[in-house]
Amino acid sequence: MAPRLSAAATPLAPVVDACLVQSCKSKSAPFVRSFSSTPCQQKMSRARQQMYQWLKGREGSEFADPKGGPRYLGPLQDQPFPLNPLFRSQPVLDEHTRELIWDKVMGRGESLKAVSAEMGVDVRRVAAVVRLKEVEKQWQREGKKLATPYAKAVMSMLPKTYYREGEKNLPHEPVNEIHVHKLTMQQLFVPVSESRHFTREDAAKAFHDTMLSVDARSPQPELINMEREILEGKSRQESLAKFKEATQKEEDKVARRIVQEQQREEKATTRVTTDRYEFRFKEINADDVGRNGRSRKGTGWRYGAPFDDRKRGLVKIPTSVP
């Protein structure tokens, strides 16, 4: 291959010699050679100068080494982007609160929905916190090293919500948030007589026949029932106990169903263990492939049916990981 240097440039030999000499001179220094042949600018441009002025100034140095607590660019305290007041850095759950959630669910055996309602944290978040904490505990049991310095630094930079047991706490986030349904994003003009009691159910029906009302789409229907009972005159304690019982029962049901599912699966499979493998046999139905032989339910590859999983133009990236 021809050398990359142009003919006009200095011949190669002296350069190599120089490099050799240099490398002999200082063993520790790596082989340094610039990629660019254009000379670097003698002066810093004005814009660059200004940048360094700001970075080294009061404001810039505050960001370079923060004094603890969140610090953002925006004019508002929790606004990371100066131009976008519509995005805010919202607080995250602090370490103790996450530990408490884990303890409530795994230690004291409270239901996810009850913990969610009590602490003002979304049910999905409660479940996620418990899941992540479980992994953390497993790591600790295995003696795996956690990323503690990283976690400490990150948590000190983020705004946090604290939950203190037995005190009055602000909720972390709304627990009963409803997605705005596509069908409800249109404007409707529904003439209704003035005397008619037009409720949320009626409004949902007006949008679409199968549309469910907000109450039916709520992730916390038991909580709504509880509040309703309280308004009807029951004591808060009594209805809270009832709410907890109802949610507990529901979760137990789900757990039982999962166990049953597993048992059924286990029953259907025959395991044969050899010294190298464990073979698992399952009964299959040849009719599962359907009329054209291409049904998703079918087992195995059928003669003549195209198997598209390696075809060009088909996306191979998985859409879900079980």
φ, ψ for residue 273 (rounded to 5)? -100, 125
Joined tokens for residue 13: 């030999």
Distance of CA 161 to the CA centre of its chain: 18
Could you say whether residue 132 binds other proteins (CB under 8 A)?
Answer: yes
Question: Among 32-40, 83-91, 274-282, 294-302, which window interacts with other proteins (CB under 8 A)?
Answer: 83-91
Question: Toward other proteins, which CB reaches closer, 2 or 83?
Answer: 83
CB of 21 to other proteins, least distance (A): 22
x/- letters, 160..199, toward other proteins (CB under 8 A):
----------xx-xxxxxxxx-x---------x-x--xxx
Question: Among 35-43, 75-83, 254-262, 263-271, which window interacts with other proteins (CB under 8 A)?
Answer: 75-83
CB of 33 to other proteins, least distance (A): 17
Angle at the Cα of 163 from the Cα atoms of 162 and 166, rounded to 5 degrees:
145
Q: How many CB atoms lie within 10 A of CB 237?
A: 9
Q: Which of 98, 104, 113, 244 binds other proteins (CB under 8 A)?
A: 98
φ, ψ for residue 39 (rounded to 5)? -70, 145
Joined tokens for residue 283: 């009964």
Could you say whether residue 146 binds other proteins (CB under 8 A)?
Answer: yes
CA atoms within 13 A on the CB side of 192: 12
Closest CA to 252 of 107, 119, 104, 109: 109
CB of 305 to other proteins, least distance (A): 27
Q: Which of 15, 211, 212, 224 binds other proteins (CB under 8 A)?
A: 224
Amino acid (one-letter) located at 97:
T
Question: Toward other proteins, which CB reaches closer, 201 or 302?
Answer: 201
Could you say whether residue 208 binds other proteins (CB under 8 A)?
Answer: no
Contacts (Cβ under 8 Å, ≥6 apart) of 214 = 178, 200, 204
Could you say whether residue 94 binds other proteins (CB under 8 A)?
Answer: no
Question: Among 121-129, 279-287, 288-296, 305-313, which window interacts with other proteins (CB under 8 A)?
Answer: 121-129
Q: CA 106, CA 100: separation in Å to the nearest integer?
A: 10
CB of 46 to other proteins, least distance (A): 9
Could you say whether residue 158 binds other proteins (CB under 8 A)?
Answer: yes
Question: Toward other proteins, which CB reaches closer, 108 or 182?
Answer: 182
* H-helix or E-strand spanning residue 161: strand 160-161
Q: Are strands 92-93 and 269-273 parallel, antiparallel or unpaired?
A: unpaired
Question: Toward other proteins, which CB reaches closer, 82 or 290?
Answer: 82
Q: Are strands 160-161 and 92-93 parallel, antiparallel or unpaired?
A: parallel
Could you say whether residue 200 binds other proteins (CB under 8 A)?
Answer: yes
Could you say whether residue 80 binds other proteins (CB under 8 A)?
Answer: yes
Binders of other proteins in range 6-25 (CB under 8 A): none
